[in-house]
Chain A
Amino acid sequence: MADKVVCITSGKGGVGKSTVTANVATALAMKGYKVVAIDADIGLRNLDLVLGLENRIVYDIVHVVEGVVPPEKALVKDKRTKNLYLLPAAQTKDKSAVKPEDLVKIVEELRDKFDFIFIDSPAGIEEGFKTAVTPADTIIVVANPEMASIRDADRVVGLCEAMQKPEPKLVINRLDPKKVARGDMLDVEDVLQVLSLDLLGVVPEDKNMVSYINRGEPAVLFEDSVAGKELRNIAERLLGKEIPIPKWTYSEGFLEKLKRLFGSE
């Protein structure tokens, strides 16, 4: 597979990189692929929490870089999904503890043993971002339909181009169909007109997301999760399946409009 090594990045922080990484990795592992998710957010370890693996960590990526253990030895096996592994970030070190060439070396050592290698990038556009992107064959930019996030996503796209990487694919996260219907939030078409990237998926706002993360259970494990369904579709599209992307536009009816205008919500 040409796009085996996938980096998830965004520029802006808190837009859903770790959520997308954990969920798409889980969805692919559930389908039987052997998957490792690397947390490249050194110093701000988070991916372990989304997967609920925080108390199983013995070694981390900095131990691997320092030669304390080989990469395989630092992998944490997921507790529910077979075939899914996490390479945790270090919580105490700083971003410069893993250099681009270090991550390239780790990825090369893991490459033959896995079907997919996901790299969860730190926010920002400095060295941590560059390290995360360097080994990737495929880059996914996650953006919220919101001004600052889109502006930062565009910066990231420019930097990837400067690094001679393939053009990133876009995941729009936290789209709220109600706000779109009201004309308050940018819709999918608006975002694509501004960013003009290949769209890999649109993940709606999911009010249950907080509780999934609090329990350490990715949304894709739940059949009835609205975000989980679209995150599973993103996994399918990475496998080359053509699944139409819902536009998430519904028009507010006249009564709904009146209710919103004069109601007390």
Chain B
Amino acid sequence: MGLMDRLRDAFGRPPAKEVAKKRLQLILKYDRAGLPPNAVEAVKEAILKALEEFPFIDTSGVNIHITESENTKGKIEIEVPVRNN
């Protein structure tokens, strides 16, 4: 590594091991659930489209993530907030 690269690593960016850990935690979530890495994005897009027709749903607040599950490989959890007014 050149001096500029080393300086940037030392002062600008998070350490490589932190990046590796975050990436691994995400990768293993998908691996364990047997899902391709873009699965959640794809599901989210389809759900958002389907929810568009309901005015009482706040689509900007839709939250979707993978969790572990007792009796299936994994579970995709979706939170759909209802608008306040």
A185 touches B17 (CB 8 A): yes
Contacts of A261 in B (CB 8 A): 3, 6-7, 10
| CB nearest to A153 among chain B residues | B28
Residues of B21-35 at the interface with A, using a CB-CB cut-off of 8 Å, are: 21, 23-25, 27-28, 31-32
Contacts of B25 in A (CB 8 A): 193-194
Chain B at the A interface: SS class:
helix
B70 within 8 A of A: no
B16 touches A150 (CB 8 A): no
B16 touches A183 (CB 8 A): yes
B20 within 8 A of A: yes
B15 touches A194 (CB 8 A): no
A190 touches B17 (CB 8 A): yes
Other contacts beyond A184-B16, A193-B25, A261-B7: 7, CB < 8 A? A155-B31, A158-B32, A183-B18, A193-B21, A194-B24, A261-B3, A261-B6
In the complex, 11 of the A-B residue pairs with CB atoms within 8 angstroms, ordered by the A residue number, are: A151-B24, A151-B28, A154-B31, A155-B31, A183-B15, A184-B16, A186-B17, A186-B20, A187-B17, A261-B6, A261-B7
Question: Which of B's residues lie within 8 Å of A, judged by CB?
Answer: 3, 6-7, 10, 15-18, 20-21, 23-25, 27-28, 31-32
